Chain A
């Protein structure tokens, strides 16, 4: 029997994946529905010599992981809506100072304390624009535990590749639901390690001077290069500056390093999209109900398909436009008042083709909810 087969919550799948990816420092604060991630890591990390710390709040949690990342560790924190709001300040810092880290947001109902134990996908735009100022961000999601595993590993890889925080935007259903997970063998999924500078001791190291490919090799705190890290606009030494030319270059770099790699960062899955007249677009746990509808209706000969997004930010506008090209109807299935649907409308020609099938009451969106919208579109009444 394969001992790698597990029956776990999504939060545990995330933990297993993070450890697989090389996580060895976690700081967090208890919050439903993400707490299991902290609980499992408090047990698992010391087993491998890693560190777990429960901080005084979410602000401190994200700050602590940034500090630990700078000493050369792979780091993560996990939270939900209210905690994610508190983390925006630290998230902005990690963006500005270009610190690799992974932030898990297991979404629950909001705003405010909202519905702590209920599902929602209301933080899509907070993930994109929650931190102040212009910036770019990577946010990934998944609809089942096998994908939670692979996308979590991807999150760590992307954080190292682009020297940036990566957000894992899961939701309560994914976090708490139990299902089968096959933990891949070591080496099955490629891992990206920290890119460290080859500049020798005594030679001037420029921590913020990008190479030709846009990447910035790092040097661990405690190593041979002593440099400054700041959340202020900074020059190639990491020292504060308000020189317009340098600031302009920094802003372009921060945005371009992600936006110019949209194609590489984009992850999605397709089900029966080839000839689909009606294309559902969904992500996270909502995509499970969407897939159910598609498979049911395909069996009856309907030309309906599902595009499941795993990369939410940077938004894959070009891919969406191409996939939606031939569809008569596009239905975005999500558990909020219409967030991804806005981006989809921006992406396609004739945005009047795009409608929303949603649920905003803390209940999981069902196939019936989606079918009701399809009946309206197809002129069959409610």
Chain B
């Protein structure tokens, strides 16, 4: 793959810390896009605010870096107004599920064909390490100096309950699996959610004594397993990876085209 064909060299170096998992997500995403042979002019990347959201600036697609939590709302306007475009929406965990939680569940329900990627590093990195709705109980953060008493969401469960027609989970350790999942998500004709467990060694790892970036990735390997694996039966605490839901329900833009067809007929 000619990586330089997909990035804006002018805007490098990127701002991510050494060891950050977000670069791996970018890598896998570009490989997925390359393998799908997608036309760059038909690709729009819409992101919100946070470390993860800077990903849209580095890619040579149409890129819309928006407001904290609102990426899916902007993306809805882009996609519905021009359904032939492929829309990919990378978000952080706080971005997607705290301030953007309402937009997130409604996007799941509405089923507009676009791909939401939740780059879940369980922390607000850009602002220096506050707990997020995905940090989890007992975690240390700058705003939880006595330990976090907030319980976390399960992104997969939440997306499924909210009606997303494609839901998957992977991690930065499983970069090749991530490529494959991204490809399936992008090709899915409906709203797809991919949660990627990503490491923030600077703010999450250090404060929670999780070791280096490599150690954190190692823990993704040790604490996750493929959906329905034997390992899960033996150790129910393992987090499952893979595609949880793939269902064929009416896609919003296609449904709206039918409304247009009917309205125009009625007019004649």
Contacts and interface: CB of A to CB of B under 8 A. Distances in A.
B77 A66 contact: yes
Interface stretch (A46-54, A266-274, A279-287, A332-340): A46-54
A71 B82 contact: yes
Contacts of A49: 260, 264
B76 interface: yes
Nearest to B54: A240
B81 A63 contact: no
User: Most chain-B CB neighbours within 10 Å: which of A89, A90, A226, A239?
Assistant: A226
Given A27-B77, A46-B259, A222-B41, A56 B106 contact: yes
A194 interface: no
Nearest to B103: A60
B85 to A, nearest CB: 5
A67 B81 contact: yes
Contacts of A43: 263
A298 B30 CA distance: 74
Q: How large is the interface on A (under 10, 10 to 19, 20 to 34, 35 or more residues)?
A: 35 or more
B183 interface: no
B267 A47 contact: yes
Contacts, number: 138
A20 B103 CA distance: 31
Give the secondary structure class of B's interface. Answer: helix
Contact of B73 (A63, A72, A227, A239): A63
A66 B74 CA distance: 7
Contacts of B63: 226-229
A53 B41 contact: no
Interface in B73-93: 73-82, 84-85
A222 B77 contact: no
A73 interface: yes
A230 interface: yes
Given A46-B260, A47-B264, A222-B84, A229 B65 contact: yes
A232 interface: yes
A67 B77 contact: yes
B80 A53 contact: yes
Given A46-B263, A60-B106, A226-B62, 9 more contacts: A60-B73, A63-B70, A64-B74, A64-B76, A221-B78, A222-B41, A228-B56, A230-B66, A239-B11
Interface of A: 25, 27, 43, 46-47, 49, 51, 53, 55-57, 59-61, 63-73, 75, 89-90, 93, 221-224, 226-232, 237, 239-240
Interface of B: 8, 10-11, 40-42, 44, 46, 56-57, 60-67, 70, 73-82, 84-85, 102-103, 106, 256, 259-260, 262-264, 266-267
